[in-house]
A and B are shown apart, each in its own frame.
Chain A
Amino acid sequence: RSGSKHGTTPADNYYLARRRTLQVVVSSLLTEAGFESAEKAAVETLTEMLQSYISEIGRSAKSYCEHTARTQPTLSDIVVTLVEMGFNVELLPAYAKRSQRMVITAPPVTNQPVTPKALTAGQNKPHPSHIPSHFPEFPDPHTYIKTPTYREPVSDYQVLREKAASQRRDVERALTRFMAKTGETQSLFKDDVSTFPLIAARPFTVPYLTALLPSELEMQQMEETDSSEQEEQTDTENLPLHMGTDDSGPEKENSSVLQQNSSLAGSRNGEENVIDNPYLRPVKKPKIRRKK
């Protein structure tokens, strides 16, 4: 409590002022008893005893009062407290009459320590009517109200369309430039190669092949329906027949494409290594199960 700290807060000052008053009181009582001087340790001891005596009377009187289901202590509570502490209450009036000499007019520090309102922002919410006023206040509103700090996104239709269009254009441009940088390019101008690079078109030997071959997704779907058709053995014969023709058709083309791919790539012997640029690898088509 009493600080060995160097800094004293207003609460500490408030407390120390009263303690000093008690020390003055003890000194005056000692003087009254006949002492001229006293040891510091003795005065400190008596001050501490006085303070704890007062506190103990307060605590004990409060306990007695609450023991009888009251909240306000009365004279009887204090008398009982004093009796319990070994104090002879009958001698008290005699003592009062005898020592009517020294009166300390040492007023304590009057400013009460106010808890500093650190970082208060905004008005606190006032108490609703069912809460008594001696209860603590509500916390600052910033502790429970959240204000988003981002701006609302623009929801104007025109702005959004423009934004989407410009984004799409940028993406396309970036992608084509990337492909031009990593692949073969053709240029429109004879002298300047790098200004407007065009992705070089690779001519297929069989140009209509891509139109005939189904895409990978379609082939997967076809495989799944094939398996389901095989297990269920549906009555419709059109579908299996149709798929059969489709399978056999692209199957032949597939083999030819594979041969061409191998010839184009050169060093591929069914191994899947060596090509380090994944964007330059030829497309791998899934294997088609041989239909019945």
Chain B
Amino acid sequence: AVPVSAAAAPPEGAMSNGVYVPSAANGDVKPVVSSTPLVDFLLQLEDYTPTIPDAVTGYYLNRAGFEASDPRIIRLISLAAQKFISDIANDALQHCKMKGTTSGSSRGKSKDKKYTLTMEDLAPALAEYGINVKKPHYFT
């Protein structure tokens, strides 16, 4: 079902965004979404300012050799980095909450809203991402 010659214009097959998607024959081959998923999202980024300023992200990208032609690209990267950190923070919060409520301290009201991020919560959260941090308990 797949056309033999690649040079031939695809007679059949879905075209989306100018990318050729081979047609599914008998359900064997599922068409893979091959359009860039964030193209639309990038257009929305023009009026959205992520938490990290563009200059700071741009500075670190420049140090790595990345010269951004489009400022939206920088915002995308800063957004991705933000999400990375907030995912870890949420995982650490889960750990913190689990440690708090397993003892069954106060049933009526939920645990006090004061959560403190400690290394003991952060370490297992990071371990799930494959990052192992071991800080010494004391500083000599």
Contact = CB atoms under 8 A, between A and B. Distances in A.
Interface in A59-110: 59, 61-62, 71-76, 78-79, 82, 86-87, 89-93, 95-96, 99-100, 102-108
A29 B82 contact: yes
Q: What is the interface residue range for chain A against chain B?
A: 35 or more
Interface in A9-26: 18, 21-22, 25-26
Main secondary structure of the interface of A (DSSP, over half): helix
Contacts of B55: 107-108
Main secondary structure of the interface of B (DSSP, over half): helix
A37 B118 CA distance: 9
A119 B86 CA distance: 49
Interface residues of B, number: 60
A185 B73 CA distance: 104
Contacts of A41: 119, 135
Interface of B: 36-39, 41-42, 44-45, 48-53, 55-57, 59-69, 73, 76-86, 88-90, 92-93, 96, 113-119, 121-122, 126, 129, 131, 133, 135
Which residue, of B57, B66, B73, B131, has the highest number of chain A Cβ atoms within 10 A?
B66
A45 B132 CA distance: 11
Given A38-B117, A45-B133, A100-B48, A29 B85 contact: yes
Which residue, of A34, A42, A79, A92, has the highest number of chain B Cβ atoms within 10 A?
A42
Given A58-B77, A76-B36, A99-B86, A36 B115 contact: yes
Per CB-CB distance, the 3 closest pairs between chain A and chain B, nearest first, are: A58-B64, A58-B66, A38-B117
